[in-house]
Amino acid sequence: MKIGKISREVFSSVIRERLGRENERVIVPPAAGIDAGVIDIGNGQVLLVAEDPIFAIPGQPLEMFGWYTVHIGASDIAVMGVRPQYMTYSLLMPPEFSEKDFILVADSIHQAAKDLGIAIVGGHTGHYPGFAAPTIGGITVFAIAKREEYITPAGACPGDSVLLTKGPAIETAGILSVLRERELLSKYPPHLVKKAQGLASQMSVVSDALTAMEAGGVTAMHDATEGGVKGGLYEIAEASCVGMEIDESLFIYPEEVRMVCEYFALDPVAAIAEGSLLITARAGSADRIIFALKNAGIPASVIGRVTDDPKSRWMTRSDGRREQLEMPVQDPFWPVFFESIAGTQ
């Protein structure tokens, strides 16, 4: 069985046919590649809602677990072009989890939410057998916006430029460099391994997305989560019914990402990449968006363009090969991740 999110085919045949009672106020329902649902609440306003589960990573500080709990959830609202405002979360802990550690997690979630201007309005917290580590059963993030203010990954248009922030496989490199630190240190210099571990603090696209929106000209955004940059590009193209021409040689490629992917023989463009934001924008806006992102300390580059033929979606790899742009059957990160988790127990 595939590890990770269910496939588009399973989503279409199972989930999409089981969405409860139809409601005309739901204007963006659940769909593959769409980051948040949108509900018309009247008076020209909409409610945006997104949800994610979050796993603690062995070897990372509990404060980091709290930080990326909030940022990963908030990113799914930010890519809709709207600032996240409210959240709930369910924290499920092993019975032996100490009060000191519980307070540490709660404090870090509180501080991360406060830093992003998010109010915590509910949730659930408890100790339960069967959990080996603290787990966020779900973080739900909400925002209210004017109906004309939000965008979706379905907004890409022929002629748009395609941009990528930070480079591929940010999450993959950040997590695996912590879990498999000893192995990496046996082959690579310590400063490079430490640099890879620092990528965990970049597993957020909140600032990326809000900065790009403020610069103007954005037509669609999507964070490159499961399936990586390749999967994210495919989802934008599929949702927007457009084609794409992408050139991997134009990607920003951090050396620490190359190191981790090389060691584990992972394709960086197909590996989970929370923190890597894909943006489509009107061609004349690309330079302005990249400049704004640079001023915010976020590297970005134009990696291709949107075309008008939905049957033509291609990525030219760094070695010159042309590959069809499609969702990877299996994100290569997950098998290595769960193998690594098993090795820590």
Domain map (residue ranges) of the chain:
8-146, 153-344
For residue 123, how many other CB atoms are within 10 A of its CB? 16
Which CATH fold would you assign to the domain 153-344? Answer: Phosphoribosyl-aminoimidazole Synthetase; Chain A, domain 2 (3.90.650)
Q: So what's the pLDDT on residue 4? A: 79
Q: So what's the pLDDT on residue 228? A: 96
Q: 68 burial class (0-12, 13-18, 19+ CB within 10 angstroms)?
A: buried
Could you list the pLDDT tens digit for every one of the 345 residues in the chain? Answer: 677 788 888 888 999 889 999 999 999 999 888 889 999 999 999 999 999 999 888 888 999 999 999 999 999 999 999 999 999 999 999 999 999 999 999 999 999 999 999 999 999 999 999 898 999 999 999 999 999 999 999 999 999 999 999 999 999 999 999 999 999 999 999 999 999 999 999 999 999 999 999 999 999 999 999 899 999 999 999 999 999 999 999 999 999 999 999 999 999 999 999 999 999 999 899 999 999 999 999 999 999 999 999 999 999 999 999 999 999 999 999 999 989 887 665
Q: So what's the pLDDT on residue 345? A: 55
The C-alpha R_g of the chain, in whole angstroms, comes to 20
List, in order, residues 6 or more apart from 113 with CB less than 8 Å away.
70, 87, 119, 120
Sign of the torsion angle spanned by Cα atoms 155, 300, 322, 11 = negative
What's the predicted TM-score (pTM) here? 0.94
Q: CA dist 227 to 3, 18, 279, 281, Å?
A: 11, 25, 16, 22
Q: The tokens 């890879």 sit on which residue?
A: 196
Report the alpha-carbon distance of residue 294 to residue 175 in Å, rounded: 25
Strands 45-55 and 135-146 come out as antiparallel
Identity at 21, one-letter amino acid code? R
Q: Return the CATH class of domain 8-146.
A: alpha beta
3-state SS record for 130-174: CCCCCEEEEEEEEEEEECCCCCCHHHCCCCCEEEEECCCCHHHHH
Q: So what's the pLDDT on residue 82? A: 98
Q: So what's the pLDDT on residue 334? A: 92
Report the alpha-carbon distance of residue 81 to residue 48 in Å, rounded: 10
Q: So what's the pLDDT on residue 125? A: 97
Q: CA dist 325 to 217, 237, 307, Å?
A: 24, 9, 13
